[in-house]
Amino acid sequence: MQWHYDLSVTSAAVDQPLRAFLQHQLQLPKRLIGDLRRNRRVLINERYHPMNTWLQAKDHVSLTFLPTDFRNPFPNTLLDPHLHIPILFENADFIVVNKPRGLKTHANQLGETGAVLNGVAAQFAPQPIYMIHRLDQETSGALLLGKSPAAVPILTKMIREKQIRREYLVWVRGRLPAASGIIRAPIGRNPHDQRKRQVNGPDAQPAVTHYRTLQTTTKASLLAVRLETGRTHQIRVHFSLLGHPVQNDPLYDPQVEVGAAMKLHSWRVQMRTPFFNQPLTVTAPLPPEMKTPIEN
């Protein structure tokens, strides 16, 4: 098995050496660039050239990746054919699925199935599927998964550096004093409950959340939220800090209704595709529980 890419050099990529094109334009890690160079699996116009060769307009760069280029090219994911996960977008490198609320992103116990990754792996078997990022179990919506191991480090870097813009919809309790704002509060562990996080807890890391109000009712607000950082439970902790917890959050909402849905949805993903740099926007339709707030 191998993964092959034929790329046309655009005007934005000319007048730079091949190495810079691979490292900065394609955002390949240095280790993969080294493998391509040593094994002469990066070609310009079907011929091998040194990495310091300058690219010209209309050049064609071809890349071939082999399983030996990757630490875990064929992850041993248990298949769960009983789960059908809706696909919102698919190309040769990655997919965006609409994660149902209540499912884990990935199993974390030996022999466990029933997670999104198990279901998607069954849908695409025998092609391997790769983790890119995760959503909390009670969060629904757009989730990226990889189909090509060559795209995984690129997508991971794009997530880490916020080149992929992810926007959430959330119903919180009450009305915020400002229609929009930025929450800056470091998030760390909760020393009394390993399931939870807290502002300024042990090992706290910077956390920044942007929000804008879309709709208000007598007892709730619908917010569009964008994360500048990606800390565990960041949205949930930050709005709990303000006294406006996510509705029905099982960990942070004092008024939680047992068994009811948490009102948090990964709504929209905006990005450019790896290797081909095409603009992409994917929107995850709202599940029924997100369409109306709790009014008690």
**pLDDT > 90? residue 211:** yes
Please report the pLDDT score of residue 111 as a whole number: 84
Give catalytic status of residue 136 as yes or no: yes
pLDDT band, very low/low/confident/very high, at 110 (cuts 50, 70, 90): confident
Mean pLDDT over the full length of the chain:
94
pLDDT band, very low/low/confident/very high, at 122 (cuts 50, 70, 90): very high
Please report the pLDDT score of residue 274 as a whole number: 97
Find the angle CA(194)-CA(256)-CA(216) to the nearest 5 degrees.
120
Please report the pLDDT score of residue 4 as a whole number: 97
| Nearest CA-CA partner of 97 in 114, 80, 117, 113 | 117
Q: Pick the range with the lowest mean pLDDT from 6-15, 155-164, 196-205, 223-232.
A: 6-15
Element holding 118 (H helix, E strand): helix 116-124
**pLDDT > 80? residue 273:** yes
**pLDDT > 90? residue 234:** yes
pLDDT band, very low/low/confident/very high, at 119 (cuts 50, 70, 90): very high
Please report the pLDDT score of residue 186 as a whole number: 97
Q: Which residues contact 77 (CB under 8 A, 6 or more apart)?
A: 117, 118, 121, 128, 129
Please report the pLDDT score of residue 292 as a whole number: 85
- Stronger pLDDT, 58 or 244, i.e. the higher one: 244
Q: Give helix then strand counts, H and E, for the chain.
A: 5, 16
Q: Pick the range with the lowest mean pLDDT from 58-62, 110-114, 207-211, 251-255.
A: 110-114
Cβ proximity of 268 and 164 under 8 Å: no
- Stronger pLDDT, 23 or 1, i.e. the higher one: 23
Exposure of 61 in the CB half-sphere (CA atoms within 13 A): 28
- How large is the average pLDDT for residues 257-276? 94
- How large is the average pLDDT for residues 95-118? 93
pTM of the model: 0.91
Please report the pLDDT score of residue 260 as a whole number: 86
| E-assigned strand segments in the chain | 3-8, 42-44, 47-48, 60-65, 87-90, 94-99, 130-131, 140-146, 165-173, 180-184, 187-189, 197-199, 208-216, 220-227, 264-272, 279-283
Residue 118, amino acid: N
| Nearest CA-CA partner of 135 in 164, 100, 110, 109 | 100
Please report the pLDDT score of residue 171 as a whole number: 97
Cβ proximity of 188 and 197 under 8 Å: yes
**pLDDT > 90? residue 109:** no
Q: Pick the range with the lowest mean pLDDT from 18-22, 126-130, 279-283, 291-295.
A: 291-295
- How large is the average pLDDT for residues 198-224? 95
SS3 28: coil
Cβ proximity of 139 and 266 under 8 Å: yes
Q: How far is CA 230 from the centre of its chain?
A: 10
Catalytic residue among 69, 80, 93, 136: 136
Please report the pLDDT score of residue 108 as a whole number: 85
Euclidean distance between CA atoms 221 and 78, whole angstroms:
40
41-97 per-position pLDDT tens digit: 999 999 999 999 999 988 999 999 999 999 999 999 999 999 999 999 999 999 999
pLDDT band, very low/low/confident/very high, at 294 (cuts 50, 70, 90): confident
Please report the pLDDT score of residue 221 as a whole number: 96
Token look-up 């009983």 returns 82
Residue 33, amino acid: I
| Nearest CA-CA partner of 147 in 178, 126, 172, 177 | 126
The full set of domains in the chain, from first to last, is 3-69 (3.10.290.10), 70-161 (3.30.2350.10), 166-266 (3.30.2350.10)
**pLDDT > 80? residue 11:** no
